[in-house]
Structure 1
């Protein structure tokens, strides 16, 4: 089992040694007054984010031998976790760049503490493309093989949209270095305010805002110009993919056809898009894209052939409360029991090993000790664990929608 969606980060003050010295005084002043907004980062379990030995032990008890590591804790100079932090002002950019570089340096050391078992996802900002490219090369050179965490460009951010050719140097660098571009749920939503309803609206809209990266890069022609580019959409569900690909294929075909027609309104609308977009979106998906399907739900499983069995990477979302830990085996049983062994093996580890460069032969001895057996995962789950907190075990979660 390889989790394609885990999270980690340093304790706040532990980022200081990873900051350039010129930022130490301003970091001390910032940290002295900073109030962490997240209860889980103040609890006794917060050290799961940075305590390497505890983390390895808990993941092994859960059957997991390797992980893709997204950020979780607060980097220096950020008001909240970097995945959900609002777009910075011009004044804040320099400080936040310093904070993300500190996180990337810390993450390289954290991954090195468990050789072959962690693929660290490094962070950039999009406001300075040249600086982003330099950080990509530096992070990969430091051993971070998890690839780039792509920030969102939510409405009001002031940044070019993701379809812009302004980001071509970023796509080119990732394709050249052989690391994926990851887009995680929660990283592209606009600020919604503090009213209670905002939380409900965020839950409804956040995955949609994250899905947008797919059609932005497809229609923007990023994969045509950079055929080696790989995109991973993580913790966004997977059941939406077949329908969205059908929709994107429809618009792609309509725009291509419009370009060959007479001077009509639609022909003008589609002018030049046929050649610039490249292949059909569904073809791009099957050649260049994957989904980090954190605790895939049973109703999504019948769609696996349409999504692509070789495109699905399971994740536990450790150490989040909504993750499947410590019941990842049970989470897999509720979704995957009864499926062919080779399909389960691909979705729970083989695909992630291929995308993120894990060595399955190196991991095999540990998997033989701590991983679930084929027979165990083939056994349907009856009642879910009473104290499970993951939506994977929500009432009705075992109902299959065909």
Structure 2
């Protein structure tokens, strides 16, 4: 039997209590957080959020079984069961992303979003991060109001948070990340030594525009695979914005993680951006002090779960900020076959490359973790 490979995971998720916001906000705000009302026939439901509402068809029995299977791991909602799962799978430390916060872009009232995320952050700190030294929870901040985002980032940094989750595109009513409006936030994050953790598949849904389809961009032949693949591109765009706008150039100590989007895109994006600066210099108004490649390779980290090419990015393309992630407890993750996955990924890898991807890069982002078991 092969020796167990212990690895840190730069991508996992936790399902908060569904009534977390409703139970912990004053009634005038609790009435604005998401709630659903099912039709008597069980085929449709109405979703109410922040004074808006929309109708959506409920999943078929087969689809519902698929959704439930995607959260099949015992520790999806129970942190103590989660730790047992991690020990069994050979996962040591985890970066933990939220679930309720995926509704953030649907709010339009700054106060209710600010206070809801504050409740989430207090809960996650007390439930996930504080009692479990191996777990690194990601804080959430409003992308509807940059001032609110800065205030909450500074508050959670004082609590001890080390990472803040951002969707790959901010709230539809806010300017995008490459605009100057976000400069004070990047400065605050650098000062707090807070890792910016983008997660793919988090492009906002603007309900006020009538868009209730979420990530469904394509229908027809190949639609599922098209939509699944499409989710990865948002993380690449977020990294490009951070580089091209000069945000990372101005803040060399700021670190960015793009979770679950693979890693070989980083060398390609570096090539493409370098070509743009080189071949179209006269058209580029904003000049960087450092090359796009240097910025990407030193300040941007990328996690993957199954991609053999990600190991090649570290071994053969000079990009060493590659991290593995289990995507626990999602269906596309490695729960139930983590050791088989890790053994396959690293069977022919240089031990130094394996150590960097499974342990070293994670510890670089989040120092001070309990040491990984030696066997």
Q: TM-score, normalised by structure 2?
A: 0.80
Cα contact 2:260–2:304 (8 A) shared by 1: yes
Instruction: Give the structure 2 partner of residue 316 of structure 1.
Output: 326
Work out whether residues 9 and 107 of structure 1, in 8 Å CA contact, stay in contact via their aligned partners in 2.
no
Corresponding position of 2:296? 285
Correspondences of 1:300-311 after superposition (within 5 Å): 300-305=310-315, 307-308=317-318, 310-311=320-321
Gaps of 5+ in 2: 1-6, 39-45, 48-57, 206-213
Q: Which one of the candidate residues 3, 24, 31 is aligned to 1:26?
A: 31
Q: What 5-or-longer segments of structure 1 have no aligned partner?
A: 76-81, 259-268, 374-402
Answer whether contact 1:9 1:103 (CA < 8 A) is retained.
no
Q: TM-score, normalised by structure 1?
A: 0.75
How many residues are aligned here?
Answer: 337
Aligned partners of 1:12 and 1:315: how far apart in 2? 25
- The counterpart of 1:149, out of the listed 165, 177, 185, is 165
3-state SS of paired residue (1:325): coil
Give CA-to-partner distance per residue, 1:90-145, whole Å, 9 cap, x none. 34x43333332222111101224543211111112222111100110112222222
- Asked if 2 retains the 8 angstrom alpha-carbon contact of 1:124 and 1:151, the reply is no
Whether the 8 Å CA contact 1:188–1:210 is kept in 2: the answer is no
Is the Cα–Cα contact under 8 Å of residues 286 and 311 in structure 1 kept in the other structure? yes
Work out the CA distance in 2 between the residues paired with 1:315 and 1:286. Answer: 19
- 1:71 is aligned to 2:71: no
Do 2:201 and 2:231's aligned partners in 1 also have CA atoms closer than 8 Å?
A: yes
Which residue of structure 2 aligns with residue 159 of structure 1? Answer: 174
For the 8 Å contact 1:162–1:213, the answer to whether it is kept is: yes
Helix, strand or coil for the counterpart of 2:136?
strand
Task: Name 2:75's counterpart in structure 1.
Answer: 48
Match of 2:186 among 142, 166, 171: 171
- Is 2:9–2:94's contact at 8 Å kept on the other side of the alignment? yes
Q: Distance in 1 between matches of 2:299 and 2:349?
A: 25
Residue 329 of structure 1 corresponds to 339
Structure 1 counterpart of 2:259, from 221, 229, 234: 234
How far does the alpha carbon of each residue in 1:188-211 deviate from its partner, in whole angstroms, 9 at most, with x for none?
Answer: 266465874454432232211221
Q: 1:247 aligns with which of 266, 272, 279?
A: 272
Counterparts of 1:28 and 1:300, CA distance in 2: 39
**In angstroms, what is the RMSD of aligned CA positions?**
2.9
Cα distance in 2 between the residues matched to 1:95 and 1:66: 32
Give the number of the structure whose residues are more often strand, by fraction. 2
Question: Is 1:187–2:202 an aligned residue pair?
Answer: yes
